[in-house]
Amino acid sequence: MTISTTKRLAALALLASIALGACSSGAASSAPSSAASTARASTAPGGGALTGSIVIDGSSTVYPITEAVTEEFKKTNAGVQIGVAESGTGGGFKKFCAGETDINDASRPIKKADAAEGVACKTNGVDYVQLQVAIDGLTVAVNPRNSWANCLTLAQLKIIYGPDSPEKLTWDQVDPTFPKEPVVRFMPGADSGTFDYFTEAVNGKVDASTAFATQSEDDNVLVTGVAGDKNAIGYFGYAYYAENKAKIKAVGIDGGAGCVAPTETTIGDGTYKPLSRPLFIYPNTGKAKASPALKAYVDYYLANTAALAAEVGYVAVPETLAQQQVSAWNGAVPK
Amino acid sequence: MAASLGVVTTIGIVVLLTYQTVQFFQIVNPIDFLTGTVWSASIEPYKFGVLALVSGTLLVATIAMIIGTPLGLLSAILLSEYSSNRVRNIVKPVLETIAGIPTIVLGFFAINFLSPEVLKPIFGDDIGIFSALAGGIVVGILITPLIASISEDAMRAVPRGLREGAYAMGATKFEVVRKVVLPAAVSGVMASIVLAMSRAVGETMAVVLAVGTRPQLTFNPLESVQTMTAFIVQITQGETSQGSVQFLSLFAVAMVLFVITFALNLASAWIVRRYRTAY
Amino acid sequence: MAGLTATPAASSPPRFEPALMRRKLTGTLFYGACLAAIGILIVALLALLLDVLIVGLPWLDIDFIASMPSRRPAQAGVLPALVGSIELAIIVGLITFPVGIGAALYLAEYAPDTRVTRLLQTNISNLAGVPSIIYGIFGLAIFVRLLGLGPVLFSGAATLALVILPLVIIASIEAIKAVPQAQREGAYALGASRWQMVRSSVLPAAAPGIMTGIILAMARAIGEAAPLVVVGAAAFVTSLPQPLSGSFTVLPIQVFNWAQRPQADFQGIAAAAIIVILVLVFILNLLALVVRARLSRHIQW
C-alpha cells in the first residue's frame, strides 16, 4: 500500500515535470511573438543571426535602464538569451571580477584598490571599460504644504542631514525665517548608492550622516513618508520625484551659484550641482571581443541609452560625453 | 546517510561563517563587538556593537511568539477537538495559505496597511511607519500556521481511547483537552513552538520591510529597530564592496544568530525531553 | 415545593451541579477563545487578500500570465517567473521528499536514543533557524562556484531545498513519533522485520503528518526570494528558464522588483503577481489535501 502510494506520488511528480516541460515550450511558441524564445529557437523572427547568452548583474538603480535596453535589443535579436539581475553594485562587482557576469551595472565607480573589486579583477584577468550611460539627479523633496523651504543651500542641508545634527531639529534652526516646527527626516538606507553619494556631496564624506532619520531601502516608502507629513523632508532618485509630482515638491539646491531646481535640463547640462550622479555600466572587454552578441549589445546600449534612460526617469548624458563613451568603447573593443 | 547531510551542511555553514568572522575580528575588536550597544555599520562613525541588533531580533521575536503561540495553539485545539471533518478540510487550507504567503508580501502588508491604518490610529505619534510591533505582528501571523498545523497533527494522533476514558469519567470537553490531550501531545506541541521560535528569530524579508533600519538597543516595541537578519539582507543587496569591513560584519552577525538559535534549541530540547509522554 | 432548594442537605454530590455549570462555562469560554483565534487569523488573511485583490485584479488577465516581462507595466507578464517558480517547486520537492523522509525515519525509528542522536536533532532544529539568506551565500559558494553549476535554476532549487529540509525533517519526525507504539508492536507480533514494520505500519500512519510538513515547506520555498537573489536569479529574463542552463527568475523576485519601482502601475502588476503566487500555493495545498485525505482514510484511532 505504502509503496504504491509513494510510487503514485513519484509518477505524478514526474508526469507534472514532463507536462511542464512540454507546456513551457508550447506556451513559448504561442506567447506574444515579439518577446518569447527558448534555447532551442535558432532561427528567430525579426531577423538577426546573433546567438549567445549575456549575463548582467549589479546596481538596482541602473537596472531599469538595462531592462529597457534589453527588452528593445531582444526585439531585433531574438536569438540572444539575456538575464538581468540586481544584486547590488557591490555584489555585482564581486561576480563581475570573478568572471561570472558579462556586464556590471554600477551606480558608483569601481573601487580599484578594493580586494573584492579592482584587485580581484586584475588577478582574474578581467578587463573592463567604464561607460557612463545616464545621470541621476538626487532630488530633495518636501511636502506640498511646506511653503518655506523652496531653496536650500548645501550648508543648510548639512544642518539637516549632517552627523552633528541633533535628534530633535526644528526648521528654524535651519533658517531663522522658517517656522519653529520639527524637521521630520527621511533618507534612503545607509547601504544604498543614493545615500553614499548624498553624504559625500553634502557632508563631505561617504557615510557621514545623522542617524536620526527614518530610513528605507524602498524609495516609494520615502515618498509616502514625505507626502504624509507637512514638516517632512527626504531625498531620493529623480525618477521617484518625477512619478509623484502631485504628492511632493522638489527643493531647489543652491550649490554656490544660485538656486537650481532639478529638471531634466538642469540635471543634463550639469547646472544642478552637486547632486547629479553618474550611472555606469562595466562591460567585460575580453568577453566582448570573443562574443559578437555582447559587442552588439553594448553598441546598442550606448546608441539608445539617451532615449531609454529618459523613459525610465533618468537623464541622458550630454551629447559630447556620449560620443566620448562610444569612442572609448570602440577603442577597447574594435568592430 | 540522509541525516548526515544535516551534519555536513552545518559544518559547511559553520566553516563559512567562522572563516569570515575571523577576518572580521582582525579589524574589529571582538569584545567591542559582543558588548557594544551601538551598531552603526554604514553611518560614520562606524561602530559594531552587536547588542543593538540582538535586542532588535529578540524584541521582534518575542512579540511574534506572544501573538503566534496562543493563536496557533487555540487554532490547533479548535481544529482537532471541536470541528467536524468538513470544517477541518476548509480551515486547514486557510492556515496553509497564510503559510504560503511570501514573506515579502507580509512585509508590504505591514508598511502599506498595518502601520498606517491599524497601528497609527491606535498609537498616534508614538509610532512611526516602521516599528518592532509591526514586524512582530506579521511574523506572529507568519508562524501561527506552523504552530497550528504541527500541534494539531500531534493532538489528532492522541488515541481516541484516552479521550473516551476521560469522558467516561465525566470530564467536560475543555477538561479533556487540558488534562488529557495537551499533555499527551506536548512533545509535538513543544517541537512546533521551538520550530516557530527558530523561524521567528531567523525571519528575514518581512522584518526587512516592516521593522526598519535603525539599530538601537531598546525594549520599546513602538520604536523602529533593526534585526540581525535585516542587517544581513541590507548589506548583501547594497552597494558596499564585498571586501569591506561592513560586508565581513554580516558573517559575524550571522555567527551570533547561529549561536543564539543553537542555545535556544538546546534548551528547548532539554525541556521537551523532560516532559514527553510515550504510550 | 416551597422551601426545597436545589441543594439537599449536607453531602458532596450537591456540589456537583454548580461545579458542573462552572466547568461547562469555562469550556464554552475556551471554545469562544478558540473561535476568536481563528477569527483573528481569518480577518487578518482577508484584510491582506482584499488589499492585494483590489490593487491587483484589474491587472490580472491571460496576457499577464502568458507574457514575458517588460518595462512597460501594461505589457509586462509573469510567464518566465511562473514557469521558474513551478520548475523550482518540482525540483525542490523531488530533492526534499526522499532526503527529508529518509533522515526523519532514521532519526525517529532507527537511531538509538543517545546523546549523539539528540545532538543531531538539535542540529537540525538549529538549521531551521538559519536565515535563508545565509543559505543563499552558502549555496552560491557550493553549487554555483564549487560545483561549477553556475547561477542556474538547479542551483537555486538545491539552495532552497537546504532551506526547507530542516522543516520537513522535523515535521516528519513528529509525525512518525506520533504513531502509537501499539501499531509497531502489532506488526512485530505478526513477524514483520523492522523495515517491513516501518513500511506498512508506521509510514502510512505518519503519511498525513509528513505531507503537512512537506506542503508547508514547499509553500515557503515558493515564496522565498532573498537566497535566490544571492545565488544569481535574474529579475528580467528573455527566455523561459531551463533547469541546468541560462538565467532564471521566480515570482517573488518579480514582486520585489516591481514593488520598488516609482511608477504607480508597477504596484498594480506586483499585486497581480502576488495573486498568481497565492493561487499557485492554493493549488499546491489542494493537491496535498487530496493526497492527505486518501492517505488518512484508514487511520482508526
B93 and chain C in contact, CB less than 8 A = yes
Contact A89 B243 (CB under 8 A): no
Q: Which of the four pLDDT bands, split at 50, 70 and 90, describes residue A3?
A: very low
B121 and chain A in contact, CB less than 8 A = no
Least Cα distance to C168 among C89, C93, C88 occurs for: C93
pLDDT at C152: 86
Q: Look up the CATH number of domain B14-246.
A: 1.10.3720.10
Per-residue 3-state assignment (H helix, E strand, C coil) for A121-142: HHHCCCCECCEEEEEEECEEEE
Residue A150 and residue A210 in one domain: yes
The mean pLDDT value for C173-183 works out to: 81
* Separation between Cα atoms, residue A24 and residue C292, nearest integer Å: 29
DSSP codes joined into one string, C236-260? EESS---SSSS----HHHHHHHHHT
CA dihedral (A245, A251, A254, A258) in degrees, to 10, reads: 70
Contact A211 B208 (CB under 8 A): no
* Separation between Cα atoms, residue C120 and residue C127, nearest integer Å: 11
* Separation between Cα atoms, residue B190 and residue C10, nearest integer Å: 45
Q: Is residue A99 part of a domain?
A: yes
Average pLDDT across chain A, whole number: 81
Q: Is residue A297 part of a domain?
A: yes
Q: How many domains are there within chain A?
A: 2
Domain locations in chain B? 14-246
Residue A120 and residue A170 in one domain: no
A227-250 pLDDT, tens per residue? 888 889 999 988 888 888 899 999
Residue of B102, B198, B269 with shortest CB distance to C223: B102
Cross-strand bridge partners of residue A134: A279
Residue A232 and residue A317 in one domain: no
Element (H, E) at C128: helix C115-129
What phi and psi values does residue B276 have, to the nearest 5 degrees? Answer: -75, 135
Average pLDDT across chain C, whole number: 81
- % of residues, chain C, pLDDT over 90: 1
Query: Is the confidence at residue B26, as pLDDT, over 80?
Result: yes
Torsion sign over Cα C183, C188, C194, C195: negative
Q: Which of B19, B58, B66, B105 to mutate to test the interface with C (most CBs of C within 10 A)?
A: B105
| Neighbouring C-beta atoms of residue A166, cutoff 10 Å | 11
Contact C247 A55 (CB under 8 A): yes
User: Which of residues 89 through 118 in chain C touch A, CB cutoff 8 A?
Assistant: 90, 93-94, 97
pLDDT at A31: 35
* Separation between Cα atoms, residue A103 and residue A85, nearest integer Å: 11
pLDDT at B2: 59
Q: Which of A252, A274, A296 is the last residue of a domain?
A: A274
Average pLDDT across chain B, whole number: 81
Least Cα distance to C229 among B95, A86, B227 occurs for: A86
pLDDT at A1: 38
Contact C223 B104 (CB under 8 A): yes
* Separation between Cα atoms, residue C59 and residue C88, nearest integer Å: 25
B165-222 pLDDT, tens per residue? 888 887 777 777 777 777 778 877 887 888 788 888 888 878 877 777 788 888 888 8
User: Which of residues 192 through 211 in chain B touch C, CB cutoff 8 A?
Assistant: 192, 194-195, 197-199, 201-205
Report chain C residues whose CB lies below 8 A from the CB of B255.
none
pLDDT at A300: 93
pLDDT at C15: 58
How far from B158 is each of B74, C171, C233, CA to CA, in Å? Answer: 17, 16, 45
- % of residues, chain A, pLDDT over 90: 23
B237 and chain C in contact, CB less than 8 A = yes
pLDDT at A129: 92
Residue appearing with cell numbers 468538513: B86
Residue A226 and residue A253 in one domain: yes
Q: How far is C297 from chain A (nearest CA, A)?
A: 12
Is ipTM > 0.90 here? no
* Separation between Cα atoms, residue B277 and residue B273, nearest integer Å: 9
pLDDT at B277: 52
Query: Is the confidence at residue C2, as pLDDT, over 60?
Result: no
Residue A270 and residue A144 in one domain: yes
C297 vs A149, which has greater pLDDT?
A: A149
CA atoms within a 13 Å half-sphere pointing along the CA-CB vector of A161:
32
Residue A174 and residue A262 in one domain: yes
Contact B243 A215 (CB under 8 A): no
Query: Is the confidence at residue A5, as pLDDT, over 60?
Result: no
Query: Is the confidence at residue A97, as pLDDT, over 70?
Result: yes
* Separation between Cα atoms, residue B218 and residue B49, nearest integer Å: 14
Contact C83 A311 (CB under 8 A): no
* Separation between Cα atoms, residue B176 and residue A299, nearest integer Å: 76
CA angle C278, C279, C282 (to 5 degrees): 85
B26 and chain A in contact, CB less than 8 A = no
Least Cα distance to C263 among A223, A269, A22, B254 occurs for: A223
Report chain B residues whose CB lies below 8 A from the CB of C289.
89, 92-93
The DSSP code for A234 is E
Contact B98 C301 (CB under 8 A): no
Residue B214: partners with Cβ closer than 8 Å, 6 or more residues away: A211, A214, A215, B130, B223, B224, B225, B226
List alpha helices for chain A, DSSP H: 2-30, 63-76, 89-97, 118-123, 154-161, 171-174, 193-203, 219-227, 238-242, 264-269, 285-290, 292-311, 319-332
Q: Which of A274, A291, A320 is the last residue of a domain?
A: A274
* Separation between Cα atoms, residue A21 and residue C241, nearest integer Å: 10
Query: Is the confidence at residue C301, as pLDDT, over 60?
Result: no
pLDDT at A131: 93
CATH number at residue A311: 3.40.190.10
Q: Which of the four pLDDT bands, split at 50, 70 and 90, describes residue B1?
A: low
Residue A165 and residue A103 in one domain: no
The mean pLDDT value for C40-52 works out to: 83
Q: Is residue A47 part of a domain?
A: no
| Neighbouring C-beta atoms of residue C164, cutoff 10 Å | 26
Torsion sign over Cα B267, B268, B269, B275: positive
* Separation between Cα atoms, residue B262 and residue B274, nearest integer Å: 19
* Separation between Cα atoms, residue B208 and residue C256, nearest integer Å: 12
Residue A252 and residue A210 in one domain: yes
Residue A300 and residue A270 in one domain: no
pLDDT at A141: 92
Residue of C nearest to A53 (CA): C246
A134-143 pLDDT, tens per residue? 999 889 999 9
Residue of C52, C208, C219 with shortest CB distance to B100: C219
Touching A: which chains, 3+ CB pairs < 8 A? B, C
Query: Is the confidence at residue B104, as pLDDT, over 60?
Result: yes
Query: Is the confidence at residue A6, as pLDDT, over 70?
Result: no
Query: Is the confidence at residue C242, as pLDDT, over 70?
Result: yes
List alpha helices for chain B, DSSP H: 2-25, 30-35, 51-77, 85-100, 103-109, 120-123, 132-156, 160-168, 173-176, 182-202, 205-210, 228-237, 245-275
Report chain C residues whose CB lies below 8 A from the CB of B106.
48
B240-249 pLDDT, tens per residue? 777 778 888 8
The mean pLDDT value for A264-285 works out to: 88
Residue A95: partners with Cβ closer than 8 Å, 6 or more residues away: A57, A87, A101, A104, C232
pLDDT at A104: 93
Say if CB B215 and CB B226 are below 8 A apart: yes
Touching C: which chains, 3+ CB pairs < 8 A? A, B
Cell numbers at B8, concatenated: 555536513
Query: Is the confidence at residue A28, as pLDDT, over 50?
Result: no
Say if CB B255 and CB C111 are below 8 A apart: no
Report chain A residues whose CB lies below 8 A from the CB of C245.
39
Q: Is residue A106 part of a domain?
A: yes
Q: Which of B265, B266, B274, B279 to mutate to test the interface with C (most CBs of C within 10 A)?
A: B265
Say if CB A78 and CB A45 are below 8 A apart: yes
B55-102 pLDDT, tens per residue? 888 999 999 999 999 888 888 888 887 777 777 776 777 777 777 777
Name the CA radius of gyration of chain B, rounded: 21
Cross-strand bridge partners of residue A253: A152, A260
Cross-strand bridge partners of residue A137: A276
Residue A144 and residue A221 in one domain: yes
Q: Which of the four pLDDT bands, split at 50, 70 and 90, describes residue A105?
A: very high
Report chain A residues whose CB lies below 8 A from the CB of C67.
31-32, 35
Residue of B nearest to A211 (CA): B43
> A-side interface with B, Cβ within 8 Å?
59-60, 87-91, 93-94, 107-108, 111, 114-117, 120, 163, 189-193, 195-196, 205, 207-209, 211, 214-218, 221, 224-225, 228
Contact B242 A116 (CB under 8 A): yes
Domain range for A261? 139-274
Residue A148 and residue A234 in one domain: yes
Touching B: which chains, 3+ CB pairs < 8 A? A, C
The amino acid at C228: L
Contact B102 C277 (CB under 8 A): yes
Q: Is residue A160 part of a domain?
A: yes
SS3 state at B167: helix
CA angle C94, C95, C98 (to 5 degrees): 85
Contact B235 A209 (CB under 8 A): no
Residue A122: partners with Cβ closer than 8 Å, 6 or more residues away: none
Cell numbers at A276, concatenated: 547629479
- Of A194-203, C111-120, C162-171, the one with minimum mean pLDDT is C111-120
Instruction: Write B274-277 long-range contacts (CB < 8 A, 24+).
Output: B275/B186, B275/B187, B275/B190, B276/B186, B276/B187, B277/B183, B277/B184, B277/B186, B277/B187
pLDDT at A13: 47
Residue A74 and residue A193 in one domain: no
Residue of A3, A39, A60 with shortest CB distance to C239: A39
Query: Is the confidence at residue B114, as pLDDT, over 70?
Result: yes
Q: Which of B54, B60, B101, B208 to mutate to test the interface with C (most CBs of C within 10 A)?
A: B101
pTM over 0.90: no
- Of A99-108, A127-136, A288-297, C180-189, the one with minimum mean pLDDT is C180-189
CA dihedral (B208, B210, B216, B220) in degrees, to 10, reads: -150
Contact A115 B214 (CB under 8 A): no
Q: Which of C125, C172, C251 to mutate to test the interface with B (most CBs of B within 10 A)?
A: C125
pLDDT at B160: 80
Query: Is the confidence at residue C192, as pLDDT, over 90?
Result: no
List alpha helices for B203-227, DSSP H: 205-210
CA dihedral (B74, B96, C159, C107) in degrees, to 10, reads: 50
> For residue C19, with 0-12 CB atoms within 10 Å meaning exposed, 13-18 middle and 19 or more buried, which class applies?
exposed
Q: Which of A274, A298, A316 is the last residue of a domain?
A: A274
Name the CA radius of gyration of chain C, rounded: 26
Cis omega (within 30 of 0) on the bond before A278?
no
Residue of B129, B237, B242 with shortest CB distance to A221: B129
